[in-house]
Amino acid sequence: MSIHSAVVDQVTAGSRQSATFDLTVAAQRETRYRIVETPAAFALDSPLTEALHSARGTTLIVVDDAVWATSRRKIQEYLDVVTVAHRVLVLPGGESNKTLEHVLRVVEEMDECVTPRRSSPIVAIGGGVVCDVVGFAASVYRRGVPYIRVPTTLLAQVDVSVAIKTGVNRGGYRNRLGAFWPAKLTVLDRHFLATQSVVEISHGLGEIFKLAVIKSPELFGQLEQLPAGWSPAWIATDELSAQFSRLAVAEMAEDLGTNLWEDDLARCVDFGHSFSPLIEMRNGQHHGHAVALDGLLSSCLAAERGLIDGETLERIVAVMRRCALPTSHPDYADVDLLWESFRETIAHRDGHQHLPLPTAIGRCTFIEDLSRDELPGAVRLMRRVTENRR
């Protein structure tokens, strides 16, 4: 039956009963976006160049201030060659700058550029914060304009690069405002990683560690091969590092591909994101470090329930140390704070716990019956296993 005839039938039936109108619209739209690794993002034969050549009008380029400080001349010379016209906006990175105010700065710059709705994508060059801010601005400007990402941190390359989520922090909560809006293109260039500190690299390794524990024995095995004393330069150039970074991207894409809009809120990739979000926001922890600590606590909960054995738990701690990840923090011994944070997560998961716990390296289950009384035992086990006492 056509929509028109359904309306006519309803109106005709009004002589026999109260007129009603109940219409359900079902629509589908294919989502396709590209993630490509290149040896040089700012080369004339790079995928970024191809995308910028087809842009019309003035292209807005939003650059992380840390990247601008080290690569300004290179970026500017590149843009002068490959764009008809461009405008550069430099924004600060860091979680404290992931704000609606910075989204509005991007919107104002788009107005100055008279950004066309479809034919001139905005370009974000920087870490996860700048990519999220630009993505959110693109999602709301004219109800959606295309954008391109060039993530320059390990965390952004293995996590932000795959997801279609954008967002900003608000009211003391992480990603309280946001939208699902895929980047048209994401360009990965590993050479940026050599400019990061060991702490920043370990921050990214926290997200790779999360995926390894909960989803990929192969990825976990690669992390176990990390050499002692690795450096950012090694991470940027070594083939093993390239392998586990690419595998992490592929594993993330496989998991998200069937659930991009989070219709199903029970997600294994939320491992490490059950207790950490509120703690991270309140105390300024690095995201990857908070995820890893949350993952360790969750693994201790799994061990307390008999889902994994002591040897598996010790392997998890050993990999954390290889990744230069913290294995303890006072906030993860504060049961009241942990429970408060978990209750906020339950609200985010629509009233369900959906708590992912490992059952082996690379496998997980979801539980819905965690009680506050279980947390002290997991906290004690976390302390013992990180102090090498069983």
Catalytic residues: 165
164/157 Cα distance (integer angstroms):
13
Planar angle of CA 10, 12, 15, nearest 5 degrees: 110
What is the DSSP secondary structure assignment for residue 160, as one 8-state letter?
A: I
Instruction: Report whether 312 contacts 220 (CB < 8 A).
Output: no
Q: How many CB atoms lie under 10 A from the CB of residue 111? A: 10
151/155 Cα distance (integer angstroms):
9
Q: Residue 308 corresponds to which tokens in the numbers above? A: 């994994």
Q: How many CB atoms lie under 10 A from the CB of residue 80? A: 9
Phi, psi of 351 (to 5 degrees): 90, 5
In DSSP notation, 78-140 reads HHHHH-SEEEEEEE--SGGG-SHHHHHHHHHHHHHHT--SSSS-EEEEESHHHHHHHHHHHHH
| Residue indicated by tokens 């799994």 | 302
- Beta-carbon contacts of 33 under 8 Å, excluding residues fewer than 6 positions away, are 164, 182, 183, 184, 185, 186
User: In this structure, which long-range contacts are made by residues 48-56, counting pairs with CB atoms below 8 Å and at least 24 apart in sequence?
Assistant: 48/123, 48/148, 48/150, 48/185, 48/187, 49/82, 51/121, 51/148, 51/184, 51/185, 52/82, 52/83, 52/123, 53/82, 54/119, 55/83, 55/84, 55/119, 55/120, 55/121, 56/84, 56/116, 56/119, 56/120
Q: What one-letter code names the amino acid at 239?
A: E
Rounded to an integer, what is the distance from CA 176 to the centroid of its chain?
Answer: 14
Instruction: Report whether 255 contacts 235 (CB < 8 A).
Output: no
Tell me the C-alpha to C-alpha distance, in Å, between residue 278 and each of 31, 176, 255, 273, 291. 31, 11, 24, 10, 11
